Amino acid sequence: MELNIWLLLASVIVIAAIASVRIAHRTGLPSLLIYLGLGLLVGEAGLGVQFENAPAAQQIGLVALAVILAEGGLTTNWQHVRQAVPTAVVLATFGVATSIFALAAAVHALLGLDWRSALLLGAVLASTDAAAVFSVLRRLPLPPRLAGILEAESGFNDAPTVIVVMTLSLAGAPVPAFGHVVLDAALELTIGAAVGLGIGPLGAYALRRVALPASGLYPIAVLALALVAYSGAALLHGSGFLAVYLATLVLGNARLPHRVATRGFAEGAAWLAQIGLFVMLGILASPSELPTAIVPGILAGLALLLFARPLSVLVSALIVRLARLDRLSWREQAFLSWAGLRGAVPIVLATIPWAAGVDARKLIFNEVFVIVIVFTMVQGPTLPYLARLLKVTAPDEARDLGVEAAPLEELNADLLQVTIPPGSGLHGVEIFELRLPTDAAVTMIVRDGRSFVPEPSTRLRAEDQLLVVTTAAYRQTVERRLRAVSRRGKLAGWYGERGD
């Protein structure tokens, strides 16, 4: 009976969380705020569910973040972020370090925190949140380079911040020397990168060459590979977060069989992880303790938003400019400063000093909880307006073309399923104008629920679904050509668009 009650409660929470996504989408608020609210409603001040096990919350939170990062890696387009990677890496390293010290100095002066607690608070809040960034920014029509910087930064910066927070949370140990922290972080990041860049290509190679008996096994295999990367790196004393992000970034851009289904499965798993994570963190919080954290939390949040984050972006922009890696305009720097969203990551990181028994553990957790709630409400809804004000939007950016693939092992060929999105340049193009290789052919079109075999003169329409058969050797050529026409129409080659 008790199991059924808990199962019913969990199911109702998930359904309510799913229904709330539409409200969050309309208001521009990240859905994490509603999930935290559900957790508070279920917790000690609402239904009375008691949960104060910080070590368990820490472990559950880290695994949930790994699943969220895996979805982020699988759905990140490498062509969009490739140019942004150097800037994102600088933001995730030098920018994180600048943010930690700047915020620590500010809260030490404003709130009177001792230096260890101030550095811990700065480290906990230094990382932007992948879930919040992906949910808000992917709705904005940003140029691929700017969106890529934010997405890649949120994927990379979890790893160094986790290392710093765990190092500073060692109970009873003196504050470690800066050089010691840097060397430990460099070693863990190197191990994590090696594991991720090893498992990703090996997993892609295996999945492309093994025809599994059911299409549903491919998404499960990909998620399992992501968790292998995370746990394997952690066992080797490396960064599991960096490993899982790099492994899934490789897998997500490797033209796997049933790629669209895999990304859909990963997206569903990430949503479930977000719902469970935020509700758990809401239950973990004590509403009766939060009022005393409001004023110091708002002061620390203002210091982060108006001082530490802009300074970290400014330092990172200067470094990438001096190194001739990139050049960020003042408009882009202003947007990057405001778009440093915080979400589940800081709250989960705040459970690490709590579980380690640090003296200021509840103070840090409560202040971080308040900061996430208040400043997500401020930053999330205002991002679209700020993007338009700074003129960093790209309203004409075309939707990318989704291509699903299934292997035809005995024929050494692939079956591609292509859905033409609204606004695509494929609309109005005749089949022969696609100029596909001779080893590829559009074999069927599904339009308005009716399927038919097309003629060379058949004109494509938006919302059509195409079945394209191609030999394995020409699959990437076919995909590039279809993407090129989708972006620039049948004169894509004339305009220099190659579909890359």
Contact, 152 vs 81, CB < 8 A? yes
* Residues 34-88: tens digit of each pLDDT: 777 788 887 776 777 777 788 888 888 889 888 988 888 888 878 778 888 899 8
C-alpha span between 356 and 172 (Å, rounded): 10
Q: What is the mean pLDDT of the chain?
A: 83
pLDDT at position 398 over 50: no
The larger pLDDT score, comparing residue 358 to residue 177, is at: 358
Distance CA 143, CA 149 (A): 10
Q: How far apart are CA 300 and CA 350, in angstroms?
A: 15
Helix %, strand %, coil % for the chain, to 5? 65, 5, 25
| pLDDT at 460 > cutoff 80 | yes
Q: How much is the pLDDT for 171?
A: 56
- Over the stretch 326-381, which tens digit does the pLDDT of each residue have? 888 999 999 999 988 887 788 888 888 888 888 888 888 889 889 988 888 888 77
Query: Does 303 have pLDDT greater than 70?
Result: yes
How many residues appear in the chain? 500
Question: How wide is the angle at C-alpha 134 spanned by C-alphas 372 and 140, nearest 5°?
Answer: 105
Where exactly does CATH 3.30.70.1450 map onto the chain?
Answer: 402-488
Confidence (pLDDT) at 134: 66
Confidence of residue 228 (pLDDT cuts 50, 70, 90): very high
CATH of 2-389 among 2.40.50.140, 3.30.830.10, 1.20.1530.20, 3.40.50.720: 1.20.1530.20
Q: List where CATH 1.20.1530.20 sits in the chain.
A: 2-389
CATH topology of domain 402-488: Alpha-Beta Plaits (3.30.70)
- In Å, the largest CA–CA distance within the chain is 76
- Cα 300 from Cα 290, distance rounded (Å): 15
